[in-house]
Structure 1
Amino acid sequence: MTKDDNEWQIRAEMALAVAMQNRTLITYAELADAATIPAPHRINKLSVWLEATMESDHAQSMPLRAAWVISRARGGLPAPGFFIKCNELGLYDGAPDGAMATAFHLNLLG
């Protein structure tokens, strides 16, 4: 990991903290822009980082910060990978969309 990689992660942490403090959802693209994640594959880099935060948050029994990041195309829900990761962590057992996913997501947001 280069210094630049670490710097965008710090910016992503800060932008995500602001969104959570303001209780405002943020899209993957908005978070990638706020963190100035370098191309190529900006959203993929962000997704990998968010999954790592999910593992860390869960291991520390903390709320999942990644729940505040949503897909513009999914009506206020995170991307399917979020729900897949929640399943891997033993937190969710359902489809990545639909009423069950929506209820699970809203519950995470408190």
Structure 2
Amino acid sequence: MLAPRIRSYLCRIAGHAVPITYQALAKALDLSPPNTIHQLTVALEYLIEEDAAAARPLIAALVVSKTRHGMPAPGFFDCARRVGCFDGDPSGSEDPAFYAAEFKKAVEFWRVAAEDS
């Protein structure tokens, strides 16, 4: 399953406090076409569901779209809404503030989690 590999990789890079693009993550994990980005998004949504159920910061916040100026794809926000982590307006006006806060929490939490393991 891809999700545990993604979590492991993101834990290793969390301490850098720099997001990774979907494309760079696919390359780092050596994913093969077709649909590499789709494979990632399905697995990242699974990780969002896991983190929400465990009341942890969303590790998926470490992954961004290169075309969205350092923000995750809309599916990140949709999934966060669906699991009850974000109640922002679907228009997207609250997305940047939510993302900035979630990214900061994710870096702090997952950096420590990686150090403890």
TM-score range (shorter-chain normalised) is 0.7 to 0.9
Give the match for residue 45 of structure 2. 51
* Unaligned stretches of 5+ residues in structure 1: 1-5
Offset at residue 13 of structure 1 (A):
2.7
Offset at residue 24 of structure 1 (A):
1.2
Offset at residue 14 of structure 1 (A):
2.9
SS at match of 1:73: coil
What CA deviation, in whole Å up to 9, does each residue of 1:62-109 have, x standing for no partner? Answer: 1100001000000110000000001111222223644x1110000102
8 A Cα contact 2:52 2:84, kept in partner: no
Identity %: 33
Offset at residue 12 of structure 1 (A):
2.5
CA RMSD of aligned residues (A): 1.6
SS at match of 2:67: helix
SS at match of 1:23: coil
Offset at residue 9 of structure 1 (A):
4.5
1:25 to 13, 19, 37: 19
Task: Give the TM-score, by structure 2 length.
Answer: 0.80
Give the match for residue 76 of structure 2. 82
CA distance in 1, matches of 2:31, 2:99: 25
Question: How many pairs align?
Answer: 103
Which piece of structure 1 moves more, 100-109 or 13-22? 13-22
Q: Name which structure has the greater RCO, CA cutoff 8 Å, separation 6+.
A: 2
SS at match of 1:78: coil
Task: Give the TM-score, by structure 1 length.
Answer: 0.84
Offset at residue 10 of structure 1 (A):
4.6
Offset at residue 21 of structure 1 (A):
1.8
Q: 1:10 to 1:91 in 2, by over 3 A?
A: closer
Give the match for residue 14 of structure 1. 8
* Unaligned stretches of 5+ residues in structure 2: 105-117
